[in-house]
Structure 1
Amino acid sequence: MRWSDGVRWLAESWTQSNTFAGIRTVERLGLISLDHDDAYVLAMVSGLGDRWDGQARIAALHNDPELRETVLWRVFEIEGGGEVSIANVDKYSRLEAGWAETFRALVSDGALPRDRVLTSCLRALGRDFSAYRVAWLLWVPEIGGPIDPTTKPTSWSCRCSGA
């Protein structure tokens, strides 16, 4: 099986284990080159970390700036479907092992900027995602404490809130 076939398989099947780590390691060693397309993003959603322990996902994103600074943000752009979506992985994972907890942890320790996470979630709310997948975004206000009410709202946040 070619590596790209493995990525496509992970984009459609949730293994519930840290299967993406091997693909990413080989890629980072320069032994393979993969397109960071929609299938790649969904493969990361599906196979980075496992449903029981979120620490592997958090550590992987801490130790891989390219993945954290480019690919990770695309999870707010790609809905996924079937077994593989960020909402589905979180629904069937332990609470502390899900993607929402990963974002909370990375914002909490400064690895991800809170404002960018909030903005990315607001933009995702404006996409034509199913209600099931949109519901995943409802954890956002919990990130890093309350939203500062004195902050001037952006035109985007006004549109999303109906203001």
Structure 2
Amino acid sequence: MQRPTSVSVASWIWLGCALLGTVAVSNILLATEFIAVFVGAGGTEEELAASQVIGVAGVIGAVIAMAAVAIQVVAAVELRDGARWARVLLTISAALALVGALIDLTDWSAWVLVAANVVALVLAYGESASAYLDAQRRGAASVPVAGAGSTTTTRRQHA
């Protein structure tokens, strides 16, 4: 079965959302460093220690956010190839985007991200997308691996 346009468009939307996620990573780093500088500027020893904790927390938050972006990129590409698990991961990603928007109701960019995720969800759960993902799942076949004596499951790729 040929990949429907809705799956391709949903995948591209989620790739765009991941790109926007990299902006969030830079915002995390900038905000925590900005706070750390002002907390530690000419402060006491306790304030300097607090600024270091804030800086480390920012780096940890940024690493977690980049891992989430990487997972979203992989899932968006795998969705195009017909992986049903990718749709589940991207649904979770959309839910997290909503939670992020609810944390700060005034952040318009978070609401743009939520709207993009909703459009991608509608496309990914549409009739043609579901039929495509079901067909891809049924298309898996057991093929012997050369020289290994065991079998592996491969997915048929459709352009």
TM-score, scaled to structure 1: 0.24
Larger relative helix fraction: 2
Larger relative strand fraction: 2
